[in-house]
Structure 1
Amino acid sequence: MIDSLILQDLYIYPVKSLGGIRLTEATTEQRGLRHDRRWLLVDERNRFMTQRQTPAMALLRVAPAYNGFLLTHVQRPDLLPLYIPFEATPERTLFVTIWDDMVFGWRGSREADEWLSEALGQVCKLIYMSDMVRRDVDPDWNPEGQLVSFADEYPFLLIGQSSLDDLNTRLADPVSMNRFRPNLVFSGGTAFSEDTWGQFRIGDVTFQAVRSCARCVMTTVDQQTSLRTPTGEPLRTLATYRSIGKKVMFGQNVTSTEKGLLRVGSAVEVLSLKP
């Protein structure tokens, strides 16, 4: 058994690739934490948008509001805050593409489309994933048939604070955890100990650490300025000691079939290790 592990932080990202919200408690659902990445921005071709191609998305902050959230642009005070409900209605629908998946979505308001298009300087549309949509995790890595929201691949992303601390000792300019967009951050344990985990439990919810998370150029986007690091950090340094084949790994992709309530400060109990 591994002890002294504590759930340090909980994050949701209501709109994929926009700012996150730090929570003190969150409910787990079939697709991940409640309200996590249920909204998506798509371009004129109805293809998903992220900071990989549009780093200016980092400038759109998300703050909690009653039954929804507020979007603000950190460099555009002329754009009044935009309210978005946690859930959409099915009046307007659209098929959209995210990676290799085509899914059915409900459109947000025309006001939201206009605000976001103005904020990002290109035509975009806001799309909601309803509970009727089925988007499966890769079956080769998901024998339980787990669903996922508009997250890249998996319902949850887990990172240990010790892993980020280890990385920052190797960087000239330390980076924040927000470069990596985790849902679950734990304190305690050694750097990258999460790589070895199989099943673990937080509160009454049991999780399965499936595989390491391959990182991309998005980690080089400064979340305060939306500028890419000219040196390619932290990806460049991670590649020197966290590469498997041609992929750079940081964090664990996680699934769970259980519903429950997570609270910051709860103990994290490792139940098994990977073979």
Structure 2
Amino acid sequence: MPVLSQIFIHPIKSTRALPLTQARVEPMGLEHDRRWMLIRPDGSFITGRESPSLVRVSAVPTEGGLQLAAPGVPELRVQAPPADAPRQEVTIWSDRCSAARVGEAADRWFSQYLGEPVALVYVDARMERPVDPKYAGPEDRVGFPDGFPLLLLSRASLEALNARLPQPVTVEHFRPNLVVEDCEPFAEDGWKRLRVGSVELEVVKPCARCVFTTVDPQTGEKAKNGEPLRTLTEFRRMNGKVMFGQNVLVRRPGMIRVGDPITW
């Protein structure tokens, strides 16, 4: 029987993965996952695709905020903005929504680290970002992931990929929230409705992969040989896109824990 073997959150979009042994699953995904994001002055979102050094930033949830650490800058603690915080229109791919500004201290910290003017924004109770209606219902919402509340990947699929690569990569290259063991490679391609403990999930579409997969999650350096994206392109191309892992919606929230069985 498949089991949940790893849980990850990324509190700020594109920052270092934080492994957990248990997590609260909310309608928008795992608690604290991608609820913060960096933007440029025009409101466009910033990711590790164009700013790979973001993966070296550690963002650890604290009571009401985050503890930040990164190479070459002092640590900083930031608090979630209050209800009356200034707001900013932000763009995430084709979506536009209104997010809360976190504050000048966080903006200065990240601007110094990245070497360009940026701002930190937050998913507050007023932000509304629907999931793509082609795959979700009108009530489904998402924070700052690329498009869906959760990303799932099986360990067997990663091993099948690594068997084709000149050097293996880690699961963190693909930034999943949920990693499943004890199933066949790419079994997740056929999954539809899942139960993890008391939580119910709906698998809605494969995840299209990009150049971010070539960024080393520890060093922030891009692989000169284009791996693992180059090899994925050879055997995981579907409808003109490279697919690896599955995008998931939450149908019943609750707690999940490493070791929970995956049932249908």
- TM-score (structure 2 length as normaliser): 0.96
8 Å CA contact 1:56, 1:120 repeated in 2: yes
| Deviation readout 1:148-207 (Å, 9 max, x if unpaired) | 111001000000011111111111111111111101111111111000101010011111
Q: Which residue of 1 aligns with 2:257?
A: 263
Shift of 1:144: 5.5
Kept in 1: contact 2:37–2:46 (CA 8 A): yes
State the AA in 1 paired with 2:70: H
User: 2:70 — aligned with what?
Assistant: 73
Q: Is the 8 A contact 2:56 2:70 kept in 1?
A: yes
CA distance in 2: counterparts of 1:130 and 1:146, whole angstroms: 16
- Give the Å deviation of 1:99: 1.0
Residue 152 (structure 1) aligned with residue 149 (structure 2): no
Is residue 101 of structure 1 aligned with residue 98 of structure 2? Answer: no
Residue 173 of structure 1 pairs with residue 167 of structure 2: yes
Mean alpha-carbon deviation: is it higher for 58-67 or for 48-57? 58-67
Deviation at 1:21, TM superposition (A): 1.2
| Equivalent position of 1:35 in the other structure | 32
Q: Please report how far the alpha carbon of residue 64 of structure 1 lies from its aligned counterpart in structure 2 after TM superposition.
A: 4.3
Task: Check the 8 A contact 1:105/1:129 in 2, yes or no.
Answer: yes
SS of the equivalent of 1:111 reads: helix
Aligned 8 A contact 1:139 1:145 in 2: no
Partner of 2:105: 111
Deviation of 1:132 (Å):
2.1
Equivalent residue number for residue 243 of structure 2: 249
Alignment of 1:27-66 (within 5 A): 27-66=24-63
How far residue 66 of structure 1 moved from its aligned partner, in angstroms, is 4.0
Cα distance in 2, alignment partners of residues 68 and 171 from structure 1: 39
User: Structure 2: which 5+ runs fail to align?
Assistant: none
Could you say what secondary structure the match of 1:209 adopts?
A: strand
Q: Distance in 2 between matches of 1:84 and 1:36?
A: 16
Distance (Å, rounded) in 2 between the aligned partners of 1:91 and 1:135: 18
Instruction: Describe the superposition over 1:45-99 as per-residue Cα deviations: whole angstroms up to 9, x where unpaired.
Output: 111000111112122122344443322113x1xx1111133x3213222111111
Measure the CA separation in 1 of the matches of 2:61 and 2:129: 26
Asked if structure 1 preserves the Cα contact closer than 8 Å seen for 2:200 and 2:253, the reply is: no
Residue 136 of structure 2: which of 131, 136, 142 is its match?
A: 142
Letter in 2 for 1:252: Q
CA RMSD after TM alignment = 1.3
Tell me by how many angstroms 1:241 deviates: 0.7
Instruction: Report SS of the residue matched to 1:81.
Output: strand
Match of 2:7 in 1: 10
Contact 1:92–1:107 (Cα < 8 Å) also in 2: yes
2:81 is aligned to 88
Partner of 1:220: 214
Shift of 1:131: 2.1
Identity %: 39
